[in-house]
A and B are shown apart, each in its own frame.
Chain A
Amino acid sequence: MSAISIQSISKRFPNGFEALKGIDTEIQSGSFTVVLGPSGAGKSTLLRLVNGLETPTTGEVRIGGDVVDGHKLRHIRSRVAMVFQQFNLVDRLSVVTNVLTGRLAQRSWVGSVFYLFRQEDMGIARDALSRVGLTDKAWSRADKLSGGQQQRVGIARALAQQPKVILADEPVASLDPVSSEEIMTLLREICDRDGITVVVNLHQVDLARRFADRIIGMNSGKIVFDGSPEQVTQSVLRTIYQREGIEDDNSLDMALAYA
């Protein structure tokens, strides 16, 4: 069964830039998919469309059968969590309050006016924090944590939502190699243990090869590769990272030699 179904999606921004040019794909429930591609290939736009943060110019995205559009956005987002490159935490709130914002989709605005949460939500938030190993930081302010820790809070917020899908938009791009490894391991473990469908945008080819079940390669708004990590050869990488109008790309060869 496919968790996410993307049907002939294209996206043109108001400034005329065509970020996506006809994307069709299905993402299996409980799978771990990595989207690879150069900056500006449309990876982020694709992920943001799945969460309804952008609306497609043509085509549609379905999550578990429901079309992502204005009407049921809140309902859909309650099942689709997002992890961001810049973490997107509310700096001034405590770690645990940030995690609790993952519960807001399930609760009406009445309690929220008084910043009140249910006891059960607190339990869920504590469990999520212990999953990412940050129980002792629960009452620190989010901006007092290191980058790696903040990203783990981001993942705990996603877990607190008890989602079917987690979308991660370059979750390790702002982190050092060790933290990156931790975050990827955590996402992989969440996928395996909870059966949550994970889609990750990445820049690091080696991480993609090691963690993914499936790799989708994108270049200038199109899918140029779709297959298992084993199928990602040097020539595939050349296709994914090639740049328009540059024939003998030295930078490309150098970069891929060590990938």
Chain B
Amino acid sequence: MTTVSTWRWPTPDGWLPLPLVGGVLALLAGLWLTAPLVEVDFVRLFGSVGRMIDFAGQMFVTPDWSYVPQLLEKMLETIEMTVLGTAIAIAVSLPLGILAARNATPHAVVYRLTRDLLSLMRALPELVWALVFVSAVGLGPLPGVMALAFVTVGFMGKFFAESIEVVDPKAVEGVRAHGAGWLQVRLFAMLPQALPDFVGTVMYILDHNLRAAAILGLVGAGGIGYDLVMSMRLFQYERLLLIALAIYLVVTALDRASDQLRSRIIHGRRQ
């Protein structure tokens, strides 16, 4: 027969640590008490199921095929904005990532300053930076690309720095011990080891940027966003359907490509 005392946690006294249990209970209690602040209302949530189904039903319309040429053009513009913004961000993030990695930075002060700069850049979402750049350089895809590149550097620089921080220090020492210079150690020992992580980051950010670029049109910064919002506002579901489908297809294609590329870089070329 199994009694309660048969079971124990792998701790010295067999019980979960009190701070952990207390912490989780306090968190749950806090969430329970504060939920009304954001108007979480289960009655309303379940009451709306009918309307949600109704809305979803309206998506089953005959697509507006005459819209396809404009869709392709806008989609191409969106992809171009994404790729260009990400490419610029990679070029800027690599050196910033080295400066912002604890084990690669030239000085602790540089590390701190770079980290702070990066968090400032990603403090506001793309849409807000796009508003800023639209005011600065006018309407069109250019402010969109600038906003994307700006926020992406904030994220990518941080991610790059963190992948550099976890590289195997033995290989770094191996290259350093042979008299390689400051930059050579970073280029030949740290970057090759961080490369698979870099590629993962870049692919995730491309994915994210495509979705971000898809709404920048909202503030006049180019891409599919303007059409997306207008068709939503004007209840043109026959266009909305096509736009959503196009974004989904591009994101999926990107995801497939990223899997292939990453496994190739981690395991090397198949022989």
Q: Which residues on A are within 8 Å of B, measured CB to CB? A: 51, 53, 74-78, 81-82, 84, 86-93, 97, 101-102, 104-105, 107-109, 112-113, 115, 141, 144, 154, 157-158, 161
* A161 → B minimal CB distance (Å): 6
Report B-chain residues with C-beta under 8 Å of the C-beta of A86.
Answer: 170
Chain A CB within 8 A of B248 CB: no
Which residues of chain A are near B83, meaning CB under 8 Å? none
A161 to B176, CA, bound (A): 13
Residue contact A157 to B170, C-beta cutoff 8 Å = no
Task: Supply 16 A–B pairs (Cβ within 8 Å), ascending by A.
Answer: A74-B181, A75-B179, A77-B176, A77-B177, A77-B179, A82-B174, A84-B174, A86-B170, A88-B177, A90-B174, A91-B168, A91-B171, A105-B179, A109-B181, A109-B182, A113-B187
List the B side residues contacting A158 at CB < 8 Å: 178
Decide yes or no: A88 and B174 within 8 Å by CB, A74-B179, A112-B183 being known contacts.
yes
Task: Give chain A's interface secondary structure class.
Answer: mixed
Pick out which of these stretches binds chain A: B39-47, B189-197, B252-260. B189-197
| Given A81-B178, A105-B181, 16 more pairs with CB closer than 8 A | A74-B181, A87-B174, A88-B174, A90-B188, A92-B195, A93-B192, A101-B175, A104-B180, A104-B181, A105-B180, A109-B181, A109-B183, A112-B188, A144-B268, A157-B174, A161-B179
* Size of B's binding interface in residues, CB under 8 A: 23
CB nearest to A78 among chain B residues: B179
- B177 cross-chain contacts in A, Cβ below 8 A: 51, 53, 77, 81-82, 84, 88
Q: Say yes or no: A101 contacts B180, CB within 8 Å.
A: yes
- Chain A residues contacting B171 (CB-CB under 8 Å) are 88-91
A90–B178 touching, CB < 8 Å: no
Instruction: Give the complex CA separation of A51 and B176 in angstroms.
Output: 10
- From B173, B178, B196, contact of A104 by CB (8 A): B178
Instruction: Report the Cα distance A108→B183, complex, angstroms.
Output: 10
Task: Contact check, A112 vs B187: say whether CB atoms are below 8 A apart.
Answer: yes
The answer to the question of B184 belonging to the interface, with a C-beta cut-off of 8 Å to chain A, is: yes
Does A92 contact B174, Cβ atoms closer than 8 Å?
no
- Can you name the residue of chain B whose Cβ is closest to the Cβ of A100? B188
Residues of A within 8 A of B193 (CB): 90-92
Q: Is the CB of B173 within 8 A of A90?
A: no
- Contact between A84 and B170, CB atoms less than 8 A apart: yes
Contact B178 A92 (CB under 8 A): no
Tell me the bound Cα distance from A77 to B173 in angstroms: 12
Complex contacts, A88 vs chain B, CB 8 Å: 170-171, 173-175, 177
Within 8 A of A (CB), among B142-200: 168, 170-171, 173-184, 187-189, 192-193, 195-196
